[in-house]
Chain A
Amino acid sequence: MKTITARRICQVFFLLLFLWFCAVSVLGARWWQLRGWPVNWFLQLDPLIGLSTLLTTGKIYAGLAWGLLTLTLTVVFGRVFCGWICPFGSLHQFIGYLARRKNSVARNLEANRFRPAQNVKYYVLIFLLTIAAVEFVVRIFTLPRTSPLTSGVVAIVLFLVLAVRRAGLTSPKKWAAGILGAGLAWVMLGFIFRGSSPYSASLQVGLLDPIALLHRSINLIALPLLDKTALKLSVAERHYDGSWLVGAIFVSALLLNLFVPRFYCRFICPLGAFLGLLSRNSLWRIGKRSTDCADCQLCRKHCEGACSPTAEIRLAECVMCINCIDDCRHGVMTYQHNPSAAGEIAAPDMTRRGLVTTLIGGALTAPVLGVSDFTGVNWNPALVRPPGSLAEDEFLSRCIKCGQCMRICPTNVLHPAGFEGGLEGLWTPKLNFRIGTSGCQHTCIACGNLCPTAAIRPITLDERMGRNQHAVAGPLKIGTAFIDRGRCLPWAMGRPCIVCQENCPVSPKAITTREVYEPVGPNRSLAVKFAGPAFIEFETDVLEPDRFATGDYYCRVGSDSGPVMRKIIRNSARFIEIDASQAFETTPAGGSRVDILIRLQQPYVNPQHCIGCGICEHECPVRGLRAIRVSAENESRSKAHRLLVTTILDAESGPA
Chain B
Amino acid sequence: MNPEADKGQIKRRQFLTRLAKAAGIILAGGGVTVVFHDRKGPMREAPDLTDIRLPDFSVAHQGPKMAVSRGAERKATLGLALKAIGGIEAFIKPGDRVLLKVNAAFASPPLLSATTHPDLVSELSRLCLGAGAQSVWVTDNPINDPQSCFTLTGIAEAARTAGATVVVPQAQHFKSYSLPNGRLIKNWPLLYAPLKKIDKIIGAAPVKDHHRSGASLTMKNWYGLLGGRRNIFHQDIHNIIKELAMMVQPTLVVLDGTSAMMKNGPTGGALSDLKPTETMIVGTDQVAVDAFGATLIGRTPGELTYISKAAAEGVGTADWRSLNPVMTEAG
A residues with CB within 8 A of B = 27, 235-237, 410-411, 436-438, 441, 443-444, 489, 495-499, 501-509, 513, 550-552, 567, 569, 579-581, 601, 615, 619, 621, 623
Contact = CB atoms under 8 A, between A and B. Distances in A.
B148 A410 contact: yes
Interface string B150-178: 00100000000000000010010000000
B147 A496 contact: no
A502 B144 contact: no
Contacts, number: 99
Interface of B: 106-108, 143-148, 152, 168, 171, 210-212, 229, 231-232, 234-239, 264, 266-270, 273, 302, 305-306, 308-309
Q: Is the interface of A mostly helix, strand, loop or mixed?
A: loop
Nearest to A232: B170
Contacts of A443: 107, 152
A615 B144 contact: yes
B143 A503 contact: yes
Given A441-B148, A507-B264, A508-B270, A498 B212 contact: yes
Contacts of A501: 211
Contact of B238 (A437, A497, A498, A550): A550
A569 B146 CA distance: 37
A621 B211 contact: no
Contacts of B231: 499, 619, 621
Contact of B237 (A237, A507, A551, A580): A551
18 contacts: A27-B147, A235-B146, A438-B148, A441-B107, A489-B235, A496-B212, A497-B234, A498-B211, A498-B234, A503-B267, A506-B269, A507-B268, A551-B237, A551-B238, A601-B211, A619-B231, A621-B231, A621-B234
B264 A601 contact: no
A411 B237 contact: no
A569 B308 contact: yes
A437 B145 contact: yes
A502 B212 contact: yes
A504 B232 CA distance: 17
A581 B144 contact: no
A221 to B, nearest CB: 21
Contacts of A581: 302
A513 B211 CA distance: 9
A509 B302 contact: no
| From B106, B107, B168, residue with most partner A Cβ within 10 Å | B107
Contacts of A497: 212, 234-235
Nearest to B302: A581
Contact of A496 (B108, B171, B234, B308): B234
Contact of A410 (B147, B232, B238, B305): B147
A607 B8 CA distance: 95
A505 B145 contact: no
Given A497-B235, A498-B234, A619 B143 contact: yes
Given A438-B145, A507-B264, 19 more contacts: A27-B147, A236-B145, A237-B171, A438-B143, A438-B144, A438-B148, A498-B212, A498-B234, A502-B210, A502-B267, A508-B269, A550-B236, A550-B305, A551-B237, A551-B305, A551-B306, A552-B238, A581-B302, A615-B144
Contacts of A411: 144-145, 148
A441 B211 contact: no
A270 B146 CA distance: 41
Contacts of A550: 236-239, 305
Contacts of A495: 235
B212 A601 contact: yes
A501 B309 CA distance: 25
B154 to A, nearest CB: 14
B188 to A, nearest CB: 15
Contact of A623 (B108, B211, B229, B267): B229
A362 to B, nearest CB: 43
B302 A504 contact: no
A509 B264 contact: yes
Nearest to B303: A581
Contacts of A489: 235
| From B231, B237, B306, residue with most partner A Cβ within 10 Å | B231
Contacts of B264: 507-509
Contacts of A237: 171
B146 A437 contact: yes
Nearest to A581: B302
